[in-house]
A and B are shown apart, each in its own frame.
Chain A
Amino acid sequence: QSVLTQPPSASGTPGQRVTISCSGSSSNIGSNTVIWFQQLPGTAPKVFIYSNNERPSGVPDRFSGSKSGTSASLAISGLQSEDEADYHCAAWDDSLNGPVFGGGTKLTVL
């Protein structure tokens, strides 16, 4: 059972806009910034969003993040087939004194 809650799956057609939610609590998302990772099959996670809404260099600006209270969202606009992957949210947890993760959302591009 993951500390952060994500939907197990999401889908969209090429060109569509898709959002993935991530719900936490006051000890994690409510008091710390959120990270989003993309994980392609058989590979390690890669940071796609940090500090709630910042993109590392090389990540397309089609990806954006937002946070409100104890929830966060990842939005992908202009969906492309290469976006098909697992997406994980994460945040530091002040009670556990460590990072916590969502269960991951499998994004399918139809």
Chain B
Amino acid sequence: QVHLVQSGAEVKRPGASVKISCKASGYTFTNYYMHWVRQAPGQGLEWMGTINLNVIKTHYAQEFQGRLTVTSDTSADTLYMDLSSLRSDDTAVYYCARGGGLAVVDYWGQGTLVTVSS
């Protein structure tokens, strides 16, 4: 079955960058697209960006343009998210999620807590 396993929690200083990984298994990685979605404490879900793994094309939400980079290593079925110039309000749980199966967002990773604090 589909599994998305993310890297562990991170603590970063304001202004730093964070890179999170998401290892996929149980399906053909390049047949789907992948999203990054975050959830700040006590808040709703917020879409950050998407990569079409078939053509390796990315699209980012305007709020994250210039700060977010989504990449992939298709030989390792692994997705990456790099967020730079971190601020305290970037403190959130970051999720990778698959799209294009049951729905435009179907399976989710377990989440990675990123804490930004001085």
- Which A positions have Cβ atoms within 8 angstroms of B? 2, 32-33, 35, 43-47, 50-51, 56, 88, 90-92, 96-104
> Would you give the shortest CB distance from A93 to chain B, in whole angstroms?
9
Give complex CA distance A91, B14 in Å: 33
Give complex CA distance A55, B73 in Å: 32
- Number of chain B residues whose Cβ lies closer than 8 Å to a Cβ of chain A: 23
Please name all residues of chain A whose beta carbon is closer than 8 Å to the beta carbon of B59 when the two chains form the complex: 97-98
Closest to A92 in B: B104
Contact across chains for B47 and A88 when beta carbons are under 8 A apart:
no
Please name all residues of chain A whose beta carbon is closer than 8 Å to the beta carbon of B110 when the two chains form the complex: 43-44
Against A, the Cβ 8 Å flags (1 = close, 0 = not) of B22-36 are 000000000000010
Contact across chains for B35 and A101 when beta carbons are under 8 A apart:
no
30 A-B residue pairs with CB within 8 Å: A2-B44, A32-B104, A33-B103, A35-B104, A35-B105, A44-B109, A44-B110, A45-B45, A45-B95, A47-B102, A47-B105, A47-B106, A50-B102, A50-B106, A51-B102, A56-B102, A88-B44, A88-B45, A90-B104, A90-B105, A91-B104, A96-B61, A98-B35, A98-B50, A99-B50, A101-B47, A102-B44, A103-B43, A104-B44, A104-B45
- Which B positions have Cβ atoms within 8 angstroms of A? 35, 37, 43-47, 49-50, 59, 61, 95, 99, 102-111
> Would you give the shortest CB distance from A29 to chain B, in whole angstroms?
12
A35-B105, A47-B103, A47-B106 given as contacts; is B44 within 8 A of A99 (CB)?
no
Please name all residues of chain B whose beta carbon is closer than 8 Å to the beta carbon of A97 when the two chains form the complex: 59
Please name all residues of chain A whose beta carbon is closer than 8 Å to the beta carbon of B49 when the two chains form the complex: 98
Please name all residues of chain B whose beta carbon is closer than 8 Å to the beta carbon of A103 when the two chains form the complex: 43-44
Q: List 10 additional A-B contacts (Cβ < 8 Å) besides A35-B103, A44-B109, A97-B59.
A: A32-B104, A43-B110, A44-B108, A46-B108, A47-B106, A50-B102, A51-B103, A88-B45, A98-B61, A99-B47
